[in-house]
């Protein structure tokens, strides 16, 4: 028989825990409603009732023998809570994942897509790479990106994306320029603080600096007038930064909202990078911006080494704040800077190893679902870039289903940041978070409806149904 004083403690405690569950899940439901996630609203509401009910019943009732059940339930709850918050599986990445060679830009799909049949460039490329001819002919036979006849065809959205892409094109020749004055910066820490602050003020979400390494640069230029020339970049540092892709536009992937947003963020990152490079040149140091369609560096590798995240299963940079739902640009320079430390966050790799949501949803089956493999001396995942790009040419957009369903892509707010904190802290929490993401958002989340203002276009509605 439990003494009266114990019951006097147990009953309010049970009520407090029950109310805690109820309020936390009600809050999750409200946030989900704001995020237009109907399934998450339903699950949160249901769990708010189911999880809080036993505690409230025990705490508020006069049931005979309830004290034993209360003790058991509260002990179980405490143990489960403790198990979830005790740090575990937080080891740092220790294995050497330095790429052994440099990537030839001519081999990436964007470069191969620009090859025109009948030109010397085309003949030379396939003479040197005959094994790529059949797969490339296959994507060339399809409508192509932003083309009429593609399955996601949406005339207004394609026109808008095309307009943004054309604006990005204006930026491409502006990546370099002369250095007019003698070097003026004497304090690398001071200028670094200014550059980071200015970049964030212009809309970047994260900024980092790394020393420029050999494997950061392409071996050979694959686009533009310098096609086929070796990449020579005589710079010591690289500044990488990210901008956020709108959750609303990404959630509609693979419909046309995704390609509008991709180009929009290429424009945003490009405009920041070009100004930043110009600023540095104005201080007397050579600097080059690396923007969409005019890169000399492999941006995800630079960003990883600058401490902005890790490379995940889908081969993209996974940032702690927004996962892969970002776009990147880089500025390289000779100006003396202070390099940031790479984050070496193993928890993202561990999460990707267990999650596999992107691999399961990818309509082109381009993302591997197994463990990381040794590729060119580095353990990593490698996507099938040909399968991915061929799908883009069929649907007309850059797809982005992998980015839209990634659990790390949820908005950067208190609710999801608490989950991110738990994911970083404990391997048990990571396992639970993967299951919870499936429960709240679906194992195969449906593509969201386009924003209202886009759905006023009847053709867009037809293609997305
Ligand atoms: S969906 Fe899952 S496996 Fe894919 S990148 Fe995101 S966290 Fe990793
Ligand atoms: S963009 Fe689409 S096709 Fe490409 S890897 Fe992601 S889900 Fe697959």
How remote is the CA of residue 461 from the centroid of ligand 2, in Å? 22
- Residue owning the nearest CA to atom 6 of ligand 2: 402
- Within this chain, do residues 81 and 168 fall inside the same structural domain, yes or no? no
Using 50, 70 and 90 to split pLDDT, how confident is the model at 34? very high
Question: Does residue 121 share a domain with residue 197?
Answer: yes
Summarize the confidence of residues 138-165 as an average pLDDT: 97
Do 297 and 328 contact (CB within 8 A), yes or no?
no
Residues in the ligand 2 pocket, defined by CB under 6 Å: 314, 362-364, 366-367, 383, 388, 391, 399-402
For residues 296 and 371, state if they share a domain.
yes
Q: Is 93 a member of any domain?
A: no
Distance (angstroms) between ligand 2 centre and the Cα of 208 equals 27
Range of the domain at 61: 4-85
Q: Does pLDDT of 463 surpass 90? A: no
Q: Ligand 1: distance of its center to the CA of 434 in Å?
A: 10
> Rounded distance, CA 173 to CA 426, Å?
47
Residue with the nearest Cα to atom 2 of ligand 2? 399
In this structure, are 203 and 67 located in the same domain? no
Question: With 70 as the cut, is the pLDDT of residue 296 above it?
Answer: yes
Q: How much is the pLDDT for 406?
A: 98
Alpha carbon distance 122, 138 (integer Å):
15
Note the pLDDT of residue 1. 60
| 91-128 pLDDT, tens digit each | 888 888 899 999 999 999 999 999 999 999 999 999 99
Same domain, 159 and 298: yes
pTM above 0.85, yes or no: yes
Judge whether 163 lies within some domain: yes
Give yes or no: residues 251 and 212 share one domain: yes
- Element counts in the chain: helices (H) and strands (E): 19, 8
Do 354 and 247 share a domain, yes or no? Answer: yes
135 pLDDT exceeds 50? Answer: yes
Q: Which ligand number lies closest to the CA of residue 372?
A: 1
Is 94 within the bounds of a domain? no
Domain assignment present for 98: no
Statement to judge: residues 172 and 245 lie in one domain: yes
Structural domain contains residue 363: yes
The answer for 380, left when phi > 0, alpha when psi is -120 to 50, beta otherwise, is beta
In a domain, 210, yes or no: yes
46 and 137 part of one domain: no
As for ligand 1, residues whose beta carbon falls within 6 Å of it are 312-314, 351-352, 355-358, 406-408
Domain count, the chain: 2
Average pLDDT score over the chain: 94
Nearest CA among 389, 307, 315, 399 for reference residue 352: 315
Residue 465 has a pLDDT of 42
Helical H segments across 220-324, by residue range: 247-251, 257-282, 299-305
């Amino acid at each position: 028989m439990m003494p009266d004083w114990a019951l006097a403690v147990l009953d309010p405690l049970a009520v407090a825990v029950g109310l805690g569950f109820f309020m936390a899940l009600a809050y999750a439901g409200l946030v989900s409603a704001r995020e237009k996630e109907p399934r998450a609203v339903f699950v949160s509401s249901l769990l708010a009732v189911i999880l809080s009910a036993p505690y409230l019943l025990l705490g508020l009732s006069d049931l005979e023998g309830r004290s034993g059940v209360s003790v058991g339930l509260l002990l179980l709850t405490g143990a489960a809570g403790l198990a979830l918050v005790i740090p575990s599986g937080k080891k740092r990445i220790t294995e050497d994942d330095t790429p052994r060679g440099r990537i030839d830009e001519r081999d990436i799909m964007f470069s191969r897509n620009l090859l025109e049949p009948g030109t010397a460039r085309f003949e030379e490329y396939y003479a040197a790479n005959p094994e790529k001819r059949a797969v490339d002919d296959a994507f060339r036979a399809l409508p192509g990106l932003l083309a009429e006849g593609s399955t996601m065809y949406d005339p207004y959205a394609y026109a808008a994306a095309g307009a943004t892409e054309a604006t990005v094109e204006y930026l491409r020749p502006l990546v370099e320029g002369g250095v007019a004055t003698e070097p003026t910066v004497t304090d690398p820490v001071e200028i670094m603080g200014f550059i980071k602050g200015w970049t964030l003020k212009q809309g970047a979400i994260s900024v980092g600096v790394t020393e420029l390494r050999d494997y950061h640069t392409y071996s050979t230029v694959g686009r533009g007038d310098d096609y086929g020339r070796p990449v020579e970049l005589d710079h010591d540092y690289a500044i990488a930064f990210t901008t956020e892709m709108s959750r609303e536009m990404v959630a509609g992937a693979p419909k046309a909202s995704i390609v509008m947003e991709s180009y929009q963020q290429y424009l945003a990152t490009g405009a920041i990078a070009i100004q930043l490079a110009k600023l540095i040149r104005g201080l007397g140091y050579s600097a080059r911006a690396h923007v969409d369609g005019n890169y000399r560096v492999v941006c995800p590798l630079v960003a990883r080494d600058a401490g902005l995240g890790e490379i995940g299963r889908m081969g993209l940079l996974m940032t702690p704040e927004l996962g892969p739902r970002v776009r990147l640009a880089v500025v390289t320079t000779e100006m003396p800077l202070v390099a940031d430390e790479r984050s070496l966050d193993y928890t993202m790799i561990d999460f990707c190893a267990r999650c596999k949501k992107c691999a399961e949803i990818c309509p082109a089956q381009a993302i591997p679902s197994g463990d990381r493999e040794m590729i060119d001396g580095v353990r990593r995942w490698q996507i099938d870039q040909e399968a991915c790009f061929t799908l883009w040419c069929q649907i007309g957009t850059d797809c982005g289903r992998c980015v839209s369903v990634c659990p790390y892509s949820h908005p950067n707010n208190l609710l999801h940041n608490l989950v991110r904190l738990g994911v970083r802290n404990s391997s048990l929490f990571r396992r639970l978070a993967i299951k919870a993401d499936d429960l709240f958002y679906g194992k195969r989340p449906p593509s969201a409806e386009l924003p209202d203002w886009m759905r006023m276009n009847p053709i867009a509605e037809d293609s997305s149904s």
